[in-house]
Amino acid sequence: MLEEIKVKLMTRTVERRKFCSKWKQPYGHLIKKRLDKIKNETLHWHVAWNGDKGCEVKKGLLKYTVDLNKKICSCRGWQISGIPCAHVCSAIWYDGGDPDKLLSPWFSLEMFMKAYEFSLQPINGSHEWKKCGLEPLLPPIPRKTPGRPKRNRSKSKDEPKKSKGKMGRDGVMMTCSLFGQNGHNKRGCPEKVTFLNVQGSSTVRPKAKAGNKGNSSNASRPNPSGTSASGTQANSKDIAAKKQNKGKEKLLVPEKKSIRTRRPTINGYGLLTNLKTGQQTFYASA
């Protein structure tokens, strides 16, 4: 690395010397461009001369004082930058001088050449160096730093990050298990609602009809066991159908809320049917 820096400095010194030799004025191109812009701004300034290298420069309500002997302008632009401002250029031209001669000497060609006056001398390679007999320099002794040591190396920004024990799913094409289409899975399938409605119409068990509540002429006689024969037969069929469609109903049919049954408010006797299980219960009230 040091060898590359040395070669870079050697070539840069030669290039800057050639660049200075092409100047047509005693200062650089950037300074000339800036000074020309300032000279164009002097057209609107009017000078009131005092006869002793001092004057007032006016433009409308603006007014500044210039002293050419002390090289001072009240706008302070000349003192800060070393380049004559528009007020100084107006005063110099009124006095018959040249603004280029009042530039700071730090912008001159001579100062620029002094910065690149000395050159780096070439040296031989390490195979030609003299052996001094001293021990070679060793790297510093490694010391344990505070805190838990890092196990993983520092990765660059463009390097992909690896997950722990799992492969990334980048570039994997998803396939819907319902219709075999690409671009989405079963969970995000846009036709899932239609599929569930078609499957649900054949698997959902119809609701059991509610029995007669209250007194009626067609009410059945009470059964000592608490349930009628038709109710027992219906319960056995419902249980068998439930076992057969147990998995399908859980997947396709939304879970129903429990329906609470309440006792009838009228007097009499009859059969009370549970809408959830379809079980019929005899009741009698005074």
Threshold 0.85, pTM exceeds: no
Question: What backbone torsions phi and psi does residue 173 show, to the nearest 5 degrees?
Answer: -90, 120
Task: Report which of residues 169 and 138 the model is more confident about.
Answer: 138
241 has pLDDT over 90: no
Average pLDDT value for residue range 51-64: 87
Give the percent of the chain with pLDDT over 70.
Answer: 69
Least confident of 3-17, 84-98, 181-195, 259-273: 259-273
Amino acid 71 reads K
Residue 108 phi/psi, 5-degree rounding, is -75, 165
pLDDT tens-place string over residues 78-114 = 999 999 999 999 998 988 888 888 888 888 888 888 8
Asked if residue 63 has pLDDT above 80, the reply is yes
* Chain Cα centroid distance, residue 195: 40
Residue 202 has pLDDT above 70, yes or no: no
Angle of helix 29-40 versus helix 86-95 axis, rounded to 10: 80
- 63 phi, psi to nearest 5 deg: -150, 130
Percent with pLDDT over 90 in the chain: 12
SS3 of 165, please? coil
Q: What distance in Å separates the CA atoms of residue 33 and residue 236, rounded to the nearest whole number? A: 105
Q: How far apart are CA 86 and CA 77, in angstroms?
A: 9
Rounded mean pLDDT of 141-161? 84
pLDDT digits (tens, 9 = 90+) for 38-55: 989 888 888 888 878 788
Task: Go through the chain and tell me how many residues it has.
Answer: 286
> How far is it, in rounded angstroms, from Cα 45 to Cα 60?
9
| Mean pLDDT, residues 267-284 taken together | 72
pLDDT grade for 209, boundaries at 50, 70 and 90:
very low
Coil, helix or strand for 258?
coil
More confident residue, 145 or 204: 145
Given a cut of 60, is residue 206 above it in pLDDT?
A: no
Question: For residue 257, what are its two tokens?
Answer: 């809320």
- For residue 229, pLDDT over 60 is answered with no
Helix (H) or strand (E) holding 73: strand 72-73
* Section 196-222 average pLDDT: 47
Distances (CA, A) of 90 to 55, 65, 78: 10, 11, 13
